[in-house]
């Protein structure tokens, strides 16, 4: 466990003071004179160590494989504020995404835990039409997929309920937008993470519907679309997925958070299923 930054500073300064309090030279068994500690050298090493520790704290939202992990800035989900399981929190941010130069979808390789990473797409009408026409070919197993998948009733609020399987194989980029039915393009998501209340579309289906509708109305345009699952540590299920979507005319420009949860259920993010 990392020590708090202020505590580390205090310990480092205490060590410096203990070293500099010794003014007499020391001798080894051979009688060779060991020179007293050089204060400027000690201070330099201490400063370097503190800077390295500070940098490690600033980068603590990434694990060793560069997978995005939760940084604690996303609010906790609740059905009152986020009944459709998503929230638009700002404009699209593609800072860490490698956007293709021609219409296509790029998926990250699975990480050391077998989890899907960021999916990036430059999507046009041809991909949208071709994706909708393809038959489904879903993988048998993805990270965190429960066996068995429990059948549940989820309270959607306003007297409405979902009755069916709790978990879906949730695409990062929808098949109808050119995404593949592959383990690299899927996470284990709750039914509500996938489609929200579905009246209208929520969850991941919110941005998917926005994209499809815009492409149908703007067949010569393109959409930049980045879906990033966000995990905590070695957990197999993402706590949430961020979706950055921007149309070539700028009429849609959104950063969206999609929570991977379900009203009334304690999701086991580490292994899959429920606790």
| N-to-C CA span, the chain | 26
Q: Give how many domains the chain has, as a whole number.
A: 2
121 with 246, same domain: the answer is: yes
18 with 125, same domain: the answer is: no
34 with 105, same domain: the answer is: no
Average pLDDT, the chain: 83
pLDDT digits (tens, 9 = 90+) for 156-177: 998 999 999 999 999 999 999 9
Sign of the C-alpha dihedral computed for residues 148, 152, 157 and 158 taken in this order? positive
Residue 118 lies in a domain: yes
Does 40 score more than 70 pLDDT? no
Q: Coil, strand, or helix at residue 208? A: helix
Region 255-273: what's the mean pLDDT? 97
Which ranges of the chain would DSSP assign to H, the alpha helix?
A: 5-20, 39-58, 125-133, 191-195, 204-217
Does 52 score more than 80 pLDDT? no
Q: What's residue 73's pLDDT?
A: 81
Residue 81 lies in a domain: no
100 with 173, same domain: the answer is: yes
CATH code of residue 133: 3.40.570.10
d(CA 199, CA 257): 18
107 with 215, same domain: the answer is: yes
Residue 238 lies in a domain: yes
Q: What's residue 28's pLDDT?
A: 44
110 with 179, same domain: the answer is: yes
Residue 264 lies in a domain: no
51 with 108, same domain: the answer is: no
Residue 31 lies in a domain: yes
Residue 222 lies in a domain: yes
113 with 203, same domain: the answer is: yes
d(CA 123, CA 100): 10
Q: Coil, strand, or helix at residue 43? A: helix
Q: What's residue 136's pLDDT?
A: 74
d(CA 203, CA 197): 8
Which range marks the domain in which residue 100 is found? 86-259
Residue 273 lies in a domain: no
pLDDT digits (tens, 9 = 90+) for 18-29: 444 444 444 444
d(CA 82, CA 203): 10
139 with 183, same domain: the answer is: yes
99 with 29, same domain: the answer is: no
Residue 23 lies in a domain: yes
119 with 11, same domain: the answer is: no
187 with 94, same domain: the answer is: yes
Region 55-65: what's the mean pLDDT? 42
């Amino acid at each position: 466990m990392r020590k708090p930054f202020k505590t580390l500073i205090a310990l480092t300064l205490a060590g410096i003071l203990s070293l500099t309090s010794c003014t007499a030279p020391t001798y080894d068994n051979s009688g060779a004179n060991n020179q007293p500690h050089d204060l400027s050298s000690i201070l330099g090493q201490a400063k370097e160590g503190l800077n390295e520790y500070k940098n490690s704290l600033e980068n603590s939202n990434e694990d060793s494989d560069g997978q995005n992990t939760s940084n604690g800035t996303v609010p906790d989900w609740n059905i009152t504020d986020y009944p459709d399981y998503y929230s638009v929190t700002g404009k699209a941010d593609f800072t860490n995404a490698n956007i293709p130069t021609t219409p296509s979808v790029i998926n990250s390789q699975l990480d050391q835990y077998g989890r899907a990473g960021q999916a990036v797409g430059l999507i046009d009408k041809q991909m949208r039409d071709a994706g909708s026409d393809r038959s489904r070919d879903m993988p048998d197993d993805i990270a965190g997929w429960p066996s068995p998948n429990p059948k549940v009733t989820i309270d959607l609020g306003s007297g409405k309920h979902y009755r069916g399987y709790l978990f879906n194989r949730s695409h990062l980029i929808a098949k109808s937008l050119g995404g593949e039915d592959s383990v690299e393009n899927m996470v284990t998501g709750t039914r509500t993470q996938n489609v929200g209340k579905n009246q209208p579309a929520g969850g991941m289906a919110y941005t998917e519907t926005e994209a499809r509708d815009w492409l149908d109305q703007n067949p010569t345009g393109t959409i930049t679309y980045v879906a990033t699952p966000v995990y905590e540590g070695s957990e197999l299920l993402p706590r949430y997925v961020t979706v950055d979507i921007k149309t070539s005319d700028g009429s849609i420009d959104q950063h969206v958070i999609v929570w991977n949860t379900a009203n009334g259920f304690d999701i086991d993010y580490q292994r899959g299923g429920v606790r």
